[in-house]
Amino acid sequence: MIRIEPQNGGRTLALRWNEKAARTYCLGSIACALALWTLNAYAQTDTAPTETIVTSTRTTKTPKPHKAAKSAKSVKRAKAEQAQGNAYATRPEVMQLAGEIAARRNLDPQWVSHAIGEARYMPGIVKAILPPAVGVPKNWTLYRSRFIDAVRIKAGVKFWSDNRETLERAEKETGVPAAIVVGIIGVETIYGQQIGNYRVLDALCTLAFDFPAAHPRASARAAYFQSELEEFLALTARTHTDPLALRGSYAGAMGLPQFMPSSWVKYAVDFDGDGRIDLFNSQADVIGSVANYFKAFRWKPGVATYYPVSFDLQKLDKAALLEPDILPTFTPADFAAKGAIVDAAGMQHPGLLALIELQNGADAPQYVAGTENFYAITRYNWSSYYAMAVIELGREVAATMPK
């Protein structure tokens, strides 16, 4: 434990030396480590920190050589792009916004300006955030194959086996099945194997200040990412974490569950009881936080996520059934009246249903009757394809678990 006395009169900080993190993010340089501590010392808040973000980000066993090489190449590409990108310190309008963010969030203006000024524009992120070209057909079979595979199933079995008691506790406390939690973490990061290589601050600044105008919802999305940037800065200031040290996805999502900063603040929990929230290293915190997320979005314990559906072609009003999209709108009786027939269990469903269409490119679509719990999964990622992948991965892992 090292104590740092800030020269600007701020709060004395007690910081843990994390040799692995220092090697990872400071390239073994003591001077760089001291610079990071000094940056943290400028962050002042009115209350003592209640959680810690730990920058060491590997919880799984050492990857096989070919996987390690692939991961190293991804990191190298991200760092190369980072080195080539323009620093936001050169943009007067961004520096003005930095001052406004500091005032809004009651943060040290010098600390915020330094952090945002050090962030860099990442052109690869701008390219990645754009939606597919118009006319590219959706394909559930192809989408499913990307997530329901032997690698994820094997990793999921290990994760479930290693955390069986924690998953059971989370299910008991929240009502969210272990299979759903396991499915989420597997789809998001293969249980920590792929958490992202971009500096979170670079990602959030790029999308807040340079969101591509070609996107159909550019203005709204830029505002969203500016809000996430503010949440991220407030979170790292409160926890005395270097905002330049954390790495995540191209959208700024962090840790094994890929929480955006606002989700970390609202839904992340200290499930292992060690006094801090760590979604990078604590599998218990990850499990508890994912379950808590779905509890917050009104997960209904014991209720199915979907039911099989068939059509009565003489009654079918598919346009009316699809009009609400994935929002549960119809009672089982309403469903049947419009020509969508669910099984006996579906007819007893106590809530509302939505007709979920999963397109298959040139082949016929697949349909299911989604429940409120299906809809809850789409609050994690607003896609019915994503929700089905989570459900099916969790189911496959459960079926493969040793009896």
Mind telling me the catalytic residues?
Answer: 188
Q: For residue 180, what are the contacts with CB-CB under 8 A and spacing of at least 6?
A: 294, 305, 377, 390, 391, 394
Q: How far apart are CA 243 and CA 117, in angstroms?
A: 12
Q: How far apart are CA 400 and CA 218, in angstroms?
A: 43
Distance CA 248, CA 227 (A): 17
d(CA 230, CA 237): 11
Locate 330 and state its tokens.
């119809």
**DSSP H helix total and E strand total for the chain:** 19, 8
Q: Could you give the CA distance from residue 220 to residue 123 in angstroms, rounded to a whole number? A: 20
Among 124, 120, 130, smallest CA distance to 209 is for 120
Q: Identify which of 403, 386, 355 has the alpha carbon closest to the alpha carbon of residue 148.
A: 386
Cα atoms found within 13 Å of the Cα of residue 166, Cβ hemisphere only = 21
State the CB neighbour count (10 A cutoff) for residue 368.
23
What are all long-range contacts of 19-26, with beta carbons under 8 Å and residues at least 24 apart? Answer: 20/56, 21/54, 21/55, 21/56, 21/245, 24/55, 24/56, 25/55, 25/242, 25/244, 25/245
Beta-carbon contacts of residue 94 (< 8 Å; ≥ 6 apart): 88, 116, 205, 209
C-alpha 127/C-alpha 246 separation (Å) is 22
* SS3 per residue for 159-185: HHHHCHHHHHHHHHHHCCCHHHHHHHH
CB 229 within 8 A of CB 205: yes
Which of 281-284's residues contact partners 24+ apart within 8 Å by CB, and which partners?
281/54, 281/56, 281/57, 281/58, 281/59, 283/59, 283/159, 283/162, 283/163, 283/166, 283/256, 284/163, 284/166
